[in-house]
Amino acid sequence: MSIAKVSRRALIAGSGAAAATNLSTPAIAQGKRRWKMATAWPKNLPGLGSGAQRIADAITEMSEGAVEVRLYASGELVPAFEIFDAVREGTAELGHAGAAYWVGKNKSFAFFAVVPAGLVAQEQNAWLDYGGGQDLWDEIYGEYGLKAFAAGNTGTQMGGWFNRAIESLDDLSGLRMRIPGLAGEVINRAGGVSVTIPGAEIMPSLQSGVIDAVEFAGPWSDLAFGFHKIAKYYYGPGFHEPGATLELTVNRALWDDLPVHLQTIVAQAAAAENQRMLSEFTAGNTASLIALRDDHGIEPTPMPDEVIRELRRLSEDVVAETAALGDINRRIYENWSRFRAQVAALAPFTEQGALNQRNL
């Protein structure tokens, strides 16, 4: 596989190293490291699973085997929701998942993946690279013995698949929906019941009636899962994930032990995939949306304005409340909020304005 030149940020080494607990020593032979990457995705899942594999392959190839990475899909090494701890403790040297999955440890982790009514993909990249976001990410993850990089983005996600029509706020009452992160709390406050389950368990849960609705990513992955076979109401875009960043986590003690040239390779592999996955999802979602419409009779629709306004109001409350959880939480929220206000003022004159003109 050829590795494209990276056009995004160069290495960000971060600060505040923390030693990992119960750290296992990776196999090193003749100066080579054999690392395991645990992912939250089912094997070969379009975009997410394939993107993680590209990172593993890129690190192995660019390092000429000095860091040989073997990928483990969800459940092969550890369950999807145990990846954070697996990397911290050294069970795996690398992880590929989304920070919203770890909000039970610290709600502010969600800012480094996506928060409801937050930033779209390009805005998120700008915040991380030039708005102070990466420094804050290094600080808060450093407390847990991890280093993290943006390593993929699904773009703006759909609102999800539902087994009943959502025509008013009353229709959310009692609705059991698979939706992780801070968005799950928004659904709870709207009268629903959020359920957090990994990708591999979603389809069986939808089929058996354990959940009434599901959001995952977009038409590409949704079609691969086959959600259209169970739930016929498809809404979008979603209020909850305007641009969902995926992360590559590295055990911090191992990261600090890497020579600088290998650190650069790991960082560049993540940065390259951060852009490539977004492009791939845009192309994949386009083709899959056409297939859902033409082959399966699925016409996605937006939720009623009344519902979106209330979900947006609740989102602002849920996100703002993270600032009260501690000093680092307050600084993350304040920094992110300032940046969001600034890019919101720019948006009508860039992509948002151009798309509005295109649709005239």
Q: What is the pLDDT of residues 148-191, one digit of tens each?
A: 999 999 999 999 999 999 999 999 999 999 999 999 999 999 99
- Residue 19 pLDDT > 60: no
Cβ atoms within 10 A of the Cβ of 169, count? Answer: 15
pLDDT at 30: 63
- Residue 8 pLDDT > 50: no
Between 121 and 43, the higher pLDDT residue: 121
- Residue 354 pLDDT > 90: yes
Asked whether the beta carbons of 144 and 108 are under 8 A apart, the reply is: no
The mean per-residue pLDDT over the stretch 87-110 comes to: 97
Alpha-carbon span 154 to 240, nearest angstrom: 13
- Residue 44 pLDDT > 90: no
Over residues 107-156, the pLDDT tens digits come to: 999 999 999 999 999 999 999 999 999 999 999 999 999 999 999 999 99
pLDDT at 258: 97
The mean per-residue pLDDT over the stretch 65-94 comes to: 97
With bands split at pLDDT 50, 70 and 90, how would you rate the model's confidence at 28?
A: low
Please provide the average confidence, as pLDDT, over all residues in the chain. Answer: 92
pLDDT at 205: 96
pLDDT at 200: 86
The mean per-residue pLDDT over the stretch 6-30 comes to: 40
Alpha-carbon span 94 to 250, nearest angstrom: 5
With bands split at pLDDT 50, 70 and 90, how would you rate the model's confidence at 29?
A: low
- Counting beta carbons within 10 angstroms of the beta carbon of residue 104, is it exposed (0 to 12), middle (13 to 18) or buried (19 or more)? exposed
- Residue 73 pLDDT > 60: yes
Which pTM was predicted? 0.89
- Residue 10 pLDDT > 50: no
Over residues 286-311, the pLDDT tens digits come to: 999 999 999 999 999 999 999 999 99
The mean per-residue pLDDT over the stretch 331-354 comes to: 97
Over residues 201-224, the pLDDT tens digits come to: 999 999 999 999 999 999 999 999
With bands split at pLDDT 50, 70 and 90, how would you rate the model's confidence at 2?
A: very low
The mean per-residue pLDDT over the stretch 342-350 comes to: 96
pLDDT at 43: 84
- Residue 9 pLDDT > 50: no
Over residues 225-257, the pLDDT tens digits come to: 999 999 999 999 999 999 999 999 999 999 999
With bands split at pLDDT 50, 70 and 90, how would you rate the model's confidence at 102?
A: very high
